[in-house]
Amino acid sequence: MASGAAIAIAAVGIGVGVWLVFDRDTTVIQPEPPVAQNHPNENLPKETKKSEDRIPGEETIAEEGKTDKLKSPPIEQPTPPPADPANPDTFDFVKFANRKVTYAGSTWQLESGHHFQSEKNPTWDTAWCYTRRLANTGVEVQVSLVNRPSPTSTPQAPVSSSETLASVGLDDNSARELASRCIWLDEASFAPGDFDMGPERKEAAAAAEELSVQDGWDAMGNDLPGMPAWNVSLEQCQAQCEADRRCLALTYDKKHAACFMKNNGSILVRSPDAVMAAKGAIKANLQYSSLVFAKDTVVVGGAYANVRSNYADCVVACAADQRCLGFNFDGPNKMCAMLDTVTSSSPFKGVASGVKATRS
């Protein structure tokens, strides 16, 4: 059995041990009492204690019974395209008007274009008229006839160059005649004299109408219907030709006071009793023949062609053919013989002849 001293020591040891355990933290953690529920439903979230150390101005206060949520930044929506207008406009376009006409025995297709700035504006700003034609080169060309800078301004015609007009058988005068047939959306109509030309074109047109006179030459053939005009002076003959757009050349017979107006004058032959005049439009095309003529004389040589003809056409045919060195025209029988060799000549009544002079 333990002594009283041993029991006392053991009691002291137990006391020290208890002190070592409970002396570390004098604060005892007590469990929080349960929060009273306002609603009997246990599935509702419990209210949490709000923190006191919040940053002023950046807090979100949740409504009672709701859970706080962070607000997302707004989503930027794309800007929708503007709605099409109920009556859309059309800008910068051309309307055409077409017409087929008969002029100088041929059919011409005339195209008139009208440029509009806006479909909502019923008035065009510029217009023009042209035609397409197969040129003498075998290539189709566009011939500009008229320009209208505005609905109220004076129209300008012709527009294409003289060379382009000539390639389709036109000149300034005939081009204006054709331009007067163009059709327009504003129903305007113009006479050939209503068209205007630029200064250079006016000068060229004046030069084309001016007659160049040469004494001692005869423009053979190409007489206008009703020729000659008898008992007129040279000045009267010239005035008649200048007033007639068909007249491009003339021959004045001084011995008989006769005027022969012509629609061409390409071949000129020597004639002491004649005065010849040609307009500038054909002046560059004149050919001076070296034929020397004789009356009641036949040329002996080799004939390569015999055709029925009149005297003027016989002369022109030989003058234009390089093979032809001379001709004989049988007046009573209206026969033309063209020769490619010439040996001599002899008298023969009723025959008019010609021989090309050769240079030694």
* 41 falls within a domain: no
Instruction: Decide which of 272, 288, 304 is a domain's last residue.
Output: 288
Cα separation, 74 vs 19, in Å, equals: 64
pLDDT at residue 21 tops 80:
no
The one-letter amino acid code at 103 reads Y
pLDDT tens column, 163-177: 899 899 998 889 999
> How much is the pLDDT for 155?
96
Question: Residue 317 contacts by C-beta under 8 Å, 6 or more apart in sequence?
Answer: 307, 309, 324, 327, 336, 338
| Residue span of the structural domain in which 261 resides | 210-288
Same domain, 234 and 282: yes
> How much is the pLDDT for 15?
45
Q: 4 pLDDT band (50/70/90 cuts)? A: very low
> How much is the pLDDT for 68?
55
Q: Which of 46-50, 259-263, 267-271 has the highest mean pLDDT?
A: 259-263
Here the CATH number for the domain that contains residue 324 is 3.50.4.10
Give the end-to-end CA distance of the chain in Å, rounded to a whole number: 185
Instruction: Decide which of 151, 178, 206 is a domain's last residue.
Output: 206
Mean pLDDT over 218-237 rounds to 94
Q: What is the mean pLDDT of the chain?
A: 82
Same domain, 106 and 189: yes
pLDDT tens column, 250-261: 999 999 999 999
> How much is the pLDDT for 92?
86
Number of domains observed in the structure of the chain: 3
Mean pLDDT over 331-348 rounds to 95
pLDDT tens column, 107-119: 999 999 999 998 8
> How much is the pLDDT for 200?
78
Same domain, 197 and 221: no
Mean pLDDT over 97-124 rounds to 93
Question: Residue 267 contacts by C-beta under 8 Å, 6 or more apart in sequence?
Answer: 219, 220, 221, 287, 289, 315, 316, 319, 320
